[in-house]
Structure 1
Amino acid sequence: MTPRYGEDEVAELCGDLIRIDSVNAGDNAGPGEREAAEYVAGKLSEVGLEPTILESDPGRANVVARVEGTDPSRDALVLHGHLDVVPFDAADWTHHPLSGEIADGCVWGRGAVDMKNMDAMILAVVRRRLSEGRRPPRDVVLVFTADEEAGGHYGAQWLAERHPEVFEGCTEAIGEVGGFSVTTEKGRLYLIEAAEKGIAWMRLTAKGRAGHGSMLNDDNAVTELAEAVGRLGRHRWPVRLTPTVQAFFEEVFGTEVKAEDAEAAVATLGPLARMIGATLRNTTNPTMLQAGYKANVIPQIATAHVDGRFLPGYEDEFFQTVDELLGPNVTRDFVYHDVAVETPFKGPLVKAMADALIEEDPGSRAVPYTLSGGTDLKAFSRLGISGYGFAPLRLPEDLDFSGMFHGIDERVPVDSLRFGVRVLDRFLGYC
């Protein structure tokens, strides 16, 4: 049978990857990424590459391979995707999240959006190009990582720290959470991630005097913590328009938007408002509380967890405000802390992305935006690599794409995957 490459095999590749259980529950729990890594390495080997599997811990596998370009003297480009996915409750799904089933024109399952779709598109376009003898203009380093969903300690961070040689000569990268379409009154826009908020998952601790629940106690750790958590959770952070957010407004509205008008402008964006609204300001969302062991015992210690996100350029302001809100009797330490990143939306790589999109979807526009979450790009940025989120998908207007990240009934249209392969193929030829 004649092998199928490119857009003809991308849905199959995506379904195969989804059927591999690579759930990452954090704390190094779960089956790991080894089986997925071996699948990816096998698909790359079939077209003549020599991929390497690098394990940071048993089962926590990363795959790397280098595609030689026609001009190896040029700086190299990283194409990266992660192999792990978040947990799920199968009882809530229409199709089992590990089925990889194709139904109603979509590939269903955990990872269909985040981000085995992009893994499949990378494999499909690389396999097609190499099977046809078409090398990219410059070296392309393929990186499929473990552990992105838990901070990348066994994946991107480990690779950057322990195997920087993988990224020799690399200056730019593309990865997840960008390049997907949204339809607005301004036409079809493709959002390319040019910035990411920083991450501050914090553990708060209050210590007081333990005692009997029936007695007076003016040193109650639970009360102290609850008041601090309330101050953080209710704090209205000021609007801060970063360069990427301002560039988004100028592209969409055709004019500069002032800070005092930003929320009103975002409100006109329909479903997109939820995603863009989170990039106007820093945020602190309490997520966990723990204290005590019996109803009539005042505990000595109370703890809480807060998910903090700070805009590029505003980390110092963020922590200064957090400490003021906590007060002197509540301490904080990090569960996880990572940098914010921002890349100017200009230059040859941006032009290559925009041109590839427009040639496949005439009349559309590429627009920069800030991601309220984070990706493996944070780790690669420490090696001097700048990058964008560019996993191109032309989506139906009524599909709540952003709502399916870590959500129920995660799915991606087959036509969108095929579109993405065509765009990535053009992009690799231009970059």
Structure 2
Amino acid sequence: MALYDDTLALLRELIRNACVNDMTPASGQEVRNADSLERFFDGVPGICIDRYESAPGRVSIVVTVAGTDPEAEPLTLLGHTDVVPVDHSRWETDPFGAEIIDGRLYGRGSMDMLFITASMAAVARDVALAGPPTGTLYFVGVADEEARGGLGAKWLSEQHPDAFSWRNCLSETGGSHLPVADGSDALVVVVGEKGSAQRRLTVTGDAGHASNPYGRVSAVATIAEVVRRISLIDLPVSQDPLWRGFVRAFHFSPAIEHALLNGSDNSAFEHFGELSRYAHALSRLTISQTILNSGSAINVLPSSATLDLDIRPLPGTTQEEVDEILIDALGDLADLVQIERLISEPASVSPTDGPLYRAMVDTFDEFFPGVPVIPTVAAGGSDLRFARRLDGVGYGFALHARERTMGDVFALLHSHDEYIELEDLDLTLNAYRSLARRFLGV
């Protein structure tokens, strides 16, 4: 009980520190959470604590619990300490008050991902207090995850790649349940994430006074046609085993399963219920038109217009293939459109085998005996992609009560009145404790 109480107290402190990352270099100020974490380990024997500051106040902390066997597999618990901004007017609770109401802890970052970060820290301290493990354990409280890690995990992987081991990493999130059609259970483990292929499409037109449009090429009209053609892109369903395994885990009827696996009827995605949007994103490359921009004065014909696209490719899709899809959709307009690559990162995925994956599956079975574990890919990003780039493996790991579906967890990410069920904090803490002991030989 003391371990849980200490974890809860730490979690509430991390929330109250309000390390809000608005994607500007001066925000975040994760130094506050780094200080809290360092105090949490104060007086613990057999550990080493290092701090890394990528910019003023943007501090990541690395706690090392050295193992007795340098040849044994290491384990890295990779938790981030920043949170996204809040709209105070939409919250019914204090977003940084860390209030406990009816078995729930409310606060920004409670679900994403401070409850996991606090559990990781508590388990690392517990392992250190129990005596040296066989394999080395690292706990990392990393800055700037919410802004894609430029001042956090990405910076560490490039500037200090040896600060900790990237070989076996755990981070957010997993361990929620699928609403299987026949009422049975299935647990989710995140083994990868889609990539990024952001694009800016630019067209030009004839500038001039808006009172004399005759004979002039309209950049606005051209970009409108670009928007229309992009919206008509019909992408095929993936044949990746992860997608096919995800569909089959739901035990749909043969007709529904066939429609989903072959892409013959898009309305079949409605059978996923609250997970329909996620399932659709998992099934294919997605293209979202997000920013349209042209002109600055109502009486001036603009000389250019731009359309920004948030494109998320699946593992195996190249940036060149993304450009080819766009060019094909543009047809005879392709020569009039400049395609600029913005953030472009490949998708990444870790194997559904190996020592760490098996340890996760065995841990899930300890808490939910006989329940199948379904590997899947996150539609968004996480710091785990940097581990995979450095030839390590990375998995999203946590644990939720039976009634908490994957959709329930998704709904709370970056939401108003974000909260974590205290029952799930306890489950995640004990799952990490069990997995660490199983994997490290504690």
TM-score, normalised with respect to structure 2: 0.89
**Shift of residue 262, structure 1, vs aligned partner:** 8.4
**Is the contact between residue 315 and residue 347 of structure 2 (CA under 8 Å) also seen in structure 1?**
yes
AA aligned to 1:311 is L
* Aligned position for 2:111: 113
2:77–2:138 CA contact under 8 A, matched in 1: yes
1:297 aligned partner: 300
- Which of 222, 225, 229 is the equivalent residue of 2:227? 229
Higher mean C-alpha displacement, 202-211 vs 98-107? 202-211
Whole-angstrom CA distance in 1 between matches of 2:33 and 2:300: 49
Residues 186 and 249 of structure 2 are in contact (CA less than 8 Å); yes or no, is this contact kept in structure 1?
Answer: no
Residue of structure 2 equivalent to 1:319: 323
- Higher mean C-alpha deviation, range 365-374 or range 23-32: 23-32
Q: CA deviation at 1:11?
A: 2.2
1:333 matches 2:340:
yes
What amino acid maps onto 1:275 in structure 2? Y
Pick from 274, 282, 287: which aligns with 1:284?
A: 287
1:411 maps to which of 419, 431, 441? 419
More displaced 10-residue stretch of structure 1: 308-317 or 270-279: 270-279
Number of aligned residue pairs: give it: 426
From 246, 249, 265, the counterpart of 2:247: 249
Q: 1:5 to 1:223 in 2, by over 3 A?
A: farther
Q: Does 1:171 align with 2:167?
A: yes
Query: What residue is the counterpart of 1:39 in the other structure?
Result: 36
Q: 1:72 to 1:181 in 2, by over 3 A?
A: farther
2:108 matched to 1:104? no
Kept in 2, the 8 Å contact 1:5–1:124? The answer is no
Distance 1:5 1:72 in 2: 31
Mean Cα deviation higher: 37-46 or 85-94? 37-46
Match of 1:65 in 2: 63
Aligned to 2:388: 381
SS at match of 2:272: coil
Using the TM superposition, give the Cα deviation of residue 296 of structure 1 relative to its aligned residue in structure 2, in angstroms: 1.9
Q: Distance in 2 between matches of 1:137 and 1:179?
A: 26
Shift of 1:34: 1.3
Q: Distance in 1 between matches of 2:21 and 2:402?
A: 27
1:282-332: CA deviation from partner (whole Å, max 9, x where unpaired): 111111122211212111122232211001012243231023335222223
The equivalent residue for 1:125 is 123
Relative to total residues, which structure has the larger strand share, 1 or 2? 1
Q: Does the CA-based 8 Å contact 1:56-1:154 persist in structure 2?
A: yes
Picking from 183, 206, 210, the partner of 1:213 is: 210
Deviates more, 1:385-394 or 1:25-34: 25-34
Task: Name the CA distance, whole Å, in 2 between partners of 1:430 and 1:265.
Answer: 41
| CA distance in 2 between partners of 1:292 and 1:122 (Å) | 50
Describe the shift of the 1:72–1:409 C-alpha distance in structure 2 as closer, same or farther (beyond 3 A): same
SS in 2 for 1:328: helix
User: In structure 1, what is the Cα distance between the partners aligned to 2:336 and 2:43?
Assistant: 60
- The whole-number CA distance in structure 2 between the counterparts of 1:193 and 1:307 is 22
Structure 1: how far apart are the matches of 2:372 and 2:10?
Answer: 29
Percent identity, please. 33
Partner SS, residue 152 of structure 1: coil
* 1:271 match: 274
Change (3 A) 1:397 1:118: closer
TM-score, normalised via structure 1 length:
0.92
In structure 2, give the amino acid aligned to 1:296: N
Give the root-mean-square deviation of aligned CA atoms.
2.3
Between 140-149 and 421-430, the greater mean CA deviation after superposition? 140-149
- Classify 1:73/1:361 alpha carbon distance in 2 versus 1 (closer, same or farther; 3 Å): same
* Partner residue in 2 for 1:259: 262
What's the CA shift for 1:250?
4.2
Unaligned runs of 5+ in 2: none
CA positional deviation for 1:178: 1.7
Q: Deviations over 1:189-215 (max 9, x none)?
A: 221011211012223322222112232
Q: Deviations over 1:130-168 (max 9, x none)?
A: 2333x4441122222111111111111110110011235
In 1, the alpha carbon distance for the partners of 2:222 and 2:5 equals: 60
Does 1:359 pair with 2:366? yes
Q: What is the distance in 2 between the residues matched to 1:313 and 1:177?
A: 23
